[in-house]
Amino acid sequence: MRILSGIQPSGKIHLGNYFGMMKPALELQKIGEAFLFIADYHALTTVTDPAFLRAAIKDVAVDYLACGLDTEKTVFYRQSDVPEVQELAWLLSNITPMGLLERCHSFKDKTAKGIAANHGLFAYPVLMAADILIMQTNTVPVGRDQKQHVEVTRDIAIKFNNQYGEVFTIPAPSIRDEVAVVPGLDGQKMSKSYNNTIEIYGDPKQMEKKIMSIVTDSKTVEDPKDPETCNVFALYKLFAGDEQRRDMEERYRKGGMGYGQAKKELAEMFDAYFTPFRQKREELLRHPDYVDEVLRKGAEKAREEACKTMRLARRAVGLE
């Protein structure tokens, strides 16, 4: 089974990215052949500062490597090191109906907010389809917000195969219900764009402050509380084992525990969980050559795979 996912280098990694996408992808690397990449071409749809982009690409590489990416099992590369994806995106563009792209949330939401759309934003899902199809991917671990893009990819792949013969494996999204939408400090989906994130490599003291500021209802310490509707509990259960989760649930329902206490315990779990990753990250920052070498080898392997698919695709459409 081939697994593939990508992350944009567009800011600091938060709990939503980690539990929604990175951790599931890293777990899948145990059962299949994983391809993970830095979606730097995609980042150009939002990032316009070259210095920021350059730094963000380096950051995200280190961030990933520090949280359990096994370079023996996973091909880790930069999207722009595989220019064949652009060629495939063009082939796919010519069979992609406008209507399919007009229906995509990524495009609809931005234009609804009055952001002037350019062609890059409109064609974003076609490039994403090229990323996925060029590696003959079976499974794409993502958060729920990316589900539609994987469905568009399936539609494009089916259409291409019908029109030109079987070239592409038809992929499916892999979305874990329990982490499909990790809530942010304010209870909305955690997202860089909502400014409600807890960054996994953020300064521990600052992150503790953020955790203490998570929005709750106004129940007093004595009141029984509902864990199901509480943002603090939603984050707590991402870290907790079964027993810890049940114990916390009971304390919520019984009353006698304030939200402050639950937040404090969440902050402790957060810290214990990410401290080893933070240390690994510090070490990697001292060895930039190692990180460059991992990406160079990843690019080599990724291109080899991409070129195999491109030979089939070029032949299928009549370019060869």
Q: Which residues bind ligand ADP (CB under 6 A)?
A: 7-8, 10, 16-17, 20-21, 142-143, 145-146, 179, 181-182, 189-193
Q: Does 20 bind ligand TRP (CB under 6 A)?
A: no
User: CA 42, CA 40: separation in Å to the nearest integer?
Assistant: 5
Would you call 277 helix, strand, or coil by DSSP?
helix
What is the closest distance, in whole angstroms, from the C-beta atom of residue 122 to ligand ADP in the complex?
17
Q: Which is nearer to ligand TRP, 140 or 302 (CB)?
A: 140
H-run or E-run covering 29: none
- Selected from 60, 61, 92, 140, the binder of ligand TRP by CB under 6 A is 140
Beta bridge partners of 38: 7, 78
- Shortest separation between residue 181's beta carbon and ligand TRP, angstroms: 14
b (16+ CB within 10 A) / e for 285-309 = eeeeeebeebbeebbeebbebbeeb
Whether 219 is catalytic: no
- Partner touching 140 among ligand TRP, ligand ADP, none, CB below 5 to 8 Å by kind: ligand TRP
> Looking at the chain, how many residues does it have?
320
139 is a contact residue toward ligand TRP (CB under 6 A): no
Handedness of CA 92, 96, 98, 104 (dihedral sign): negative
- Out of ligand ADP, ligand TRP, none, what residue 20 binds, judged by CB under 5 to 8 A for its kind, is ligand ADP
Binding flags for ligand TRP, 144-173, as an x/- string (CB under 6 A): --x--x------------------------
Q: What are phi and psi of 173, to 5 degrees?
A: -75, 150
205 is catalytic: no
Q: Which residues of 125-159 are buried (b: 16+ CB within 10 A; e: fewer)?
A: bbbbbbbbbbbbbbbbbbbebbeebbbbbbbbbee
Residue closer to ligand TRP by CB (options 5, 231) is: 5
Closest-by-Cβ residue to ligand TRP is 6
191 binds ligand TRP (CB under 6 A): no
- Could you say which of 58, 110, 159, 297 is catalytic? 110
Q: Is-contact 73 29, C-beta < 8 A? A: yes
Number of residues engaging ligand TRP in binding (CB under 6 A): 14
Closest to 275 (Cα-Cα) out of 210, 200, 213: 200
Residues in touch with ligand TRP (CB under 6 A): 4-8, 39, 42, 128, 131-132, 140, 142, 146, 149
Catalytic residue numbers?
110, 189, 192
